[in-house]
Structure formats: structure tokens, C-alpha cells
Amino acid sequence: MYVKKNNKELNIDYLIALLPLVIYGFYKNYFIVYNRGLITLFDVIKQIVIFLLVIAVAILIPILVNILQKRKWNEGILKDYTIPLVIIFFLIMPVKYNKFIFLIILAVFVCLNSFLKVNKFSFNRIAFLEVLTLIIMRQLGGIAYESVYESTKELSFTLFDSFFGRSVMNFGTTNIFLILCGFAYLTYRGYYKKEIPLIIIGTYLLSGVGINFLMHKDIFSIFSTLITTNILFSAIFVATIPFYSPYTKEGTIIYSILIGLFTSIFSIYFSLNEVIFVIIFIISLFNNLLDYLVLKVKEKIS
């Protein structure tokens, strides 16, 4: 079985894997645009301040919760997974969004996350939070995935360009090279459910090719969507969150196959920049059931 609980090593490893994507997100969406004279230095600083506020929320609210519950103020801070969670949430946000609403939603999430027990509510909260946030943003002011430069210029990106991050996606999910580097690092360090992204991507490609063949569509388009959407980032960093995914090996395999299968089906009809999070959230609702059924079957066999 996989270990349900997180630890300090995994927490730090995720931070190290995510940091290059944060830096690249700022570089692509703000520093390049600033150098082209399309935004001011104030716009760059404002986004950096937003990121620092995101980190502050992830640190200060758990400290406040510890104080309210009469525990040591720093209890579990380094071992808690809140900081990687909020960084993932920051990276999967569109480039343009209402920062004030985003911070309010984030603060509420961190507060609830500090009180809710994982073993009772183990669904993927980041995927759910992303879906909920996008719905709210669209109702209250809209969102956009293009940077200022991308929205004012007609650009044609090759798959090579997209592989190194020059495509239009969420704030920090475009650089496939850095995402794969993060995956390699986490796999090397251990404690990481590397089977999940491998099975998701394998199932996605195999089922996608089959579905496209049966529907007389371009069977190679499934490979391009892997590079030009949030699939890889979501499979590697969102679907693998330790306590939001099954902890039995067999449950993990079923969980991963279902995500890959439904991702390939929905890729034909919808934008996977958003739908991938719906899929992960829905499948994660059955995590406890998958583990329960696996343990029951093992018990009967033994």
C-alpha cells in the first residue's frame, strides 16, 4: 500500500519541482511582455506581490488555526502540504483573472483545508477548487489564458515551441520540458506515485488513438493535445497529490486508467485546459470506494 500521510521530504520535493515552473510563468507572461513595452514595471511587481500573498496565506492561516486549537503555533507547518497545494493552484490559474477574488477563494480554501480531515474528505480539493474558481471568475469578470503579447499578436506555435513553453495555457503549465524535469526529480527522490502519470498518459494515448480511429479523425491529434493542454501538468502534479488519491496499488491503477480514459474521450469535444480538472475531481470522489473494494477482494482471496 501507499502511505496516506505526507511528510517533510515530500513537501520540500514538490516545492523544488514546482519552483522552476513558477519562475518560467513569470518570465513568459510578465518579463517578456514587459521587455516588449506592453506592460509597466508596476504590473510585474503587482503579480509578484500576488504570489507572495499566496505564500503568506498558506503559512499564516495554518498558524492561526494552530493557535485557535491551542497547539504549538508551528506544529506541522514544515510537514503540512498547504504550500505546495497553493502553488499548484496559483500555477493552474489563467494568466488574466480577478486577483482579489482569487485571494479570497484561496484563503477560504486554506482555512477549510486546515480543519477538514483528509480521511473523511479525500477528494481532490485542488481540482475542485480550480473548477469552482473558473466558474466564479467567468460570472464575475472573466478570464483569459493569453498574455498581453499573445492577445495582441497573431502567433503560430509549433509542437517544438510548445514543448519549451511558448504556447497558450494556464499561468505556469506551458513548459513541458520543465514539467518532465519535475517528474524526473520527484521520481528520483522517491515517495512519489510515479505510476499515476505514467498510467494516465499511457491510457490517454492508447484510448485516444483508438477513439479517433473509430471516429475517422486524425489519430495523431491526441499526441499534440498532450503537449498543448494541461494534461501533463495535471497528471504529474494534481492527480498525484498523496492524500487526494488512492493508497492501495490496485486502487491507484484503476484511478489512473479512469482519468486517462475519460480525458481521451473529452479531448474530442472540450478544452482540456479546464475539463481535465473536472475529470480528476469526479474520479477522486471514488478514492475511498476503490480502496475499500480492493481491500475487500484481497480479504476474500486470502
Residues facing 144 on adjacent strands: 96
Rounded CA separation 79/265 (Å):
37
Q: Report the chain's terminal Cα–Cα distance, integer Å.
A: 16
Give the number of other Cβ atoms within 10 Å of residue 288's Cβ: 17
Per-residue model confidence as pLDDT tens for the chain (302 residues): 444 444 677 888 899 999 999 999 999 999 999 998 889 999 999 999 999 999 999 988 888 887 887 777 666 666 678 899 999 999 999 998 888 999 999 999 998 887 776 666 778 999 999 999 999 988 887 788 888 888 887 777 788 888 898 888 899 999 999 999 999 999 988 778 899 999 999 999 999 999 888 887 888 888 888 888 899 999 999 999 888 889 888 999 999 999 999 999 887 777 778 889 999 999 999 998 888 888 888 888 86
Check residue 139 and give its pLDDT: 86
Check residue 41 and give its pLDDT: 93
Check residue 114 and give its pLDDT: 77
Quickly tell me which residue has 513558477 as its cell: 22
Rounded CA separation 18/38 (Å):
27
Check residue 141 and give its pLDDT: 75
pTM: 0.91
What pLDDT, in 10s, does the model give residues 58-108?
Answer: 988 888 887 887 777 666 666 678 899 999 999 999 998 888 999 999 999
Q: Are 78 and 32 in contact (CB under 8 A)?
A: no
Helix (H) or strand (E) holding 277: helix 272-284
Check residue 78 and give its pLDDT: 63
